A and B are shown apart, each in its own frame.
Chain A
Amino acid sequence: MAEIIDMPKLSDTMSVGTLVKWNIKEGQVVAFGDILAEVETDKATMELSCTVPGTILKIYAAAGAQLPVGAPICAIGKKGETAPEPAAAPAPKAPATAVPAIPEKAEVSCVPAAPASAGSVSPQSDASRTKASPYAKRMAEKAALNVANLPGTGPGGRVVSRDVTAAASATAASAPSGPLNVAVAPPADGKGIQPDGDLPVGGMRQTIARRLLESKITVPHFYLEVEVDAAPLMAMRESLNKRLAEAGGESAIKLSVNDFILKASAEALRRVPAVNASWAGTSIRQHGAVHLSFGVALEDGLVTPVIRDAHAKTLKDIAVEAKLLIGKARSKKLTPAEMSGSTFTVTNLGMFGVTGFFGIINVPNAAILSVGATIKKPVVDAHDRLVVGHRMVIGLSGDHRVVDGANAAQFLQALKQLLEEPALMLI
């Protein structure tokens, strides 16, 4: 049987070789040890000696050719044998890149919370870190104490276990008993719906609480609502996802309903830019770019990553970026820059079946969009017939200092139109 001789690996580090010259020709009989050719490697020019005695059936590589190690260069066999077809030169090994698994989520559920105003400190990074030993931290958690509030008597002011012990016994001595519950007789078997007691509130939730209160108290909220025929949107989503899957296979991006809403919001703001503004005390600051924030619910709170320049991004760009940011949010890798600077916020509780709601404005945005679930309901169509409709209720909370009812209504009208005729997003 004929043997194919490949470009040999003549040194540890060799990956390609140049076939400088052939010493034999097709049809020639060769013995073990005969020099077949001269090969130039990364280190030197070496002689390629024959390891398969026989007849040279075919030469695949021309003199002067540069080939990767493993590429076929000639075939040796019995005289008269047909030369085999060389398999293609081995493709350069594709680098084993692990495609990072971006979590797939159809709807983004969130409650508006931590604002993303420029320059605000991210709720995830504390400005000053408290030095406390790991053991003291554990003890503090159990005693529902915050190490940040305890005096540290360890080296460098470190909070150590004795400080927590001291604080715990002091609190026990002075504090009145337990949570503010009306004195209700506990159930006979002593078991409640959850353990009684105080859940310590971490830094992130403290910040969320503060900002929400500030928004609710200082911003004059007003509320508008619109119902959207979601059928065209569903159809377009299905069709685009199918195309993307065909083209991209397993790793193809899947567009979510929320991706469409984000894109549509950006387009609606282009048409009604008055809503893309902020109250600045003595003026209204208009924003030229649309930086969209959207909520991602985490175990210990909510984060609102921001897609910058959404007005200039395609639906696909927005979808890809949204997924990336969600992934980062979940692995706690969002940077402060990625969580600040939004001009408009979109929230969505549709995945929980909530049919409609109104969010709290993410200061200093002028409005927040809240998206409900798409549900089937009886509707009256254009020909006054009762048919099954797929309807989505979208709410808008507006800051009445910046936008008035008419702008807000125009915005919702534009949004509705874009969602019901998605092709309009092309122009």
Chain B
Amino acid sequence: MTKEAKIALYTKMARIRHFEQRCIRIYQQGKIGGFLHLYVGQEAVAAGTISLLGKNDHLITGYRDHGHGLMVGMGMNECMAELTGKVTGCSQGKGGSMHYFAPDKNYWGGHGIVGGQAPLGTGLAYAVKYQGLKGSCLTFMGDGAVNQGAVHEAYNLASLWDLPVIFVVENNGYSMGTSQERSTAHPGCLAKRAEGYNMAWDVINGHDVYEVRAKTALALKRAHEESKPTVLEIFTYRYFGHSMADPDKTYREKEEIKTYRDKKDPVLLFEQELLREKVLTPELSQTINDAAMAEADKAAIFADESPDPTLADITKHIYWEEDNRGPKTTSRGTIIFE
């Protein structure tokens, strides 16, 4: 990576951190309803993997999706506005926190049902291969998703049909309030299950963005050149609860969180590394962080001042054929009922 690329990567990680933290205040002000699943502590996973993607590489993830969205280049304004349900949000207020999409940036969401995105990601990889392109689909999920049936079906199809899908298991140790030990029969390593499906696999330390990049690059190579899938298990951690409504005292100790913050914070560690490499200076780092915080603050104001969708908007964007009625449209009849 060039010096500029490293600074850019650090900036992106800092932006994720500050965006997520700004969301907490908005949630506490009661402006975000429903769920808010924060990515704080996991930044290096999204940053490391997504920074490698090319034109024909796609990605899809579960509901802890803000980091991925910001990494592909979604704006803080549209992301913040979506959280508060405003029409200026990236899904026009129709999706919410769990459903950020940016198809023009190869980002296919943002999904709420645990593991439900695994077959979708496999399908995106299938399409890339069908179209004769050298590409892949990074299909992110959490450690809780690996026990869902749909994920196993996706593993089997990916391996059976040699699809260029990279299943990225972001193992932060807990699926909601259930630790990995309490939820998965096979102890220790989730990625090893890939062997049961005849797939390649690897484990990565998710707090080291260089390691994330290095090992993901290998999986991408396998996808592009051999059209074969990989399961990557990336060990990471989240500082906040499963969602904002999670008091998180019932399943982990404060010391555990503190240890990570002090010793394994990916943003902190990358900053320290770049300072060592003399790519960053303390002043530059401060500037980057201040700018990120300011950008998040401005996004919060943008979200506040934006309007809600209207009553008429409720029944839009349900059907492509209805949104695009024209001389070629052949379907008729009542499609939205009273």
Contact = CB atoms under 8 A, between A and B. Distances in A.
Nearest to B254: A47
A8 B247 contact: no
A206 B30 CA distance: 61
Interface residues of A, number: 15
Given A6-B29, A9-B29, A69-B30, A51 B21 contact: yes
B329 interface: no
A339 interface: no
B28 A10 contact: yes
Classify chain B: how many residues form its interface, as a range. 10 to 19
Contacts of B21: 32, 51
A51 B247 contact: no
B133 interface: no
B25 interface: yes
Contacts of B214: none
B245 A8 contact: no
Main secondary structure of the interface of B (DSSP, over half): helix
A410 B24 CA distance: 80
A44 interface: yes
Main secondary structure of the interface of A (DSSP, over half): loop
Most A-side CB within 10 Å, residue of B25, B30, B261: B30
Interface string B18-36: 0001101101111000000
Interface string A48-87: 0101100000000000000001100000000000000000
B295 to A, nearest CB: 16
Most A-side CB within 10 Å, residue of B21, B22, B25, B27: B25
B245 A11 contact: yes
Contacts of A49: 24
Contacts of B28: 6, 8-10, 51
Nearest to B240: A49
A46 interface: yes
Interface in A1-20: 6, 8-12
Given A11-B245, A12-B245, A46-B247, A70 B29 contact: yes
Contacts of B247: 44, 46
Contact of A51 (B24, B245, B261): B24
Interface of A: 6, 8-12, 32-33, 44, 46, 49, 51-52, 69-70
21 contacts: A6-B28, A6-B29, A8-B28, A8-B29, A9-B27, A9-B29, A9-B30, A10-B28, A11-B245, A12-B245, A32-B21, A44-B247, A46-B247, A49-B24, A51-B21, A51-B22, A51-B24, A52-B25, A69-B30, A70-B29, A70-B30
Lowest 3 CB-CB distances: which A-B pairs, in order? A8-B28, A9-B30, A51-B25
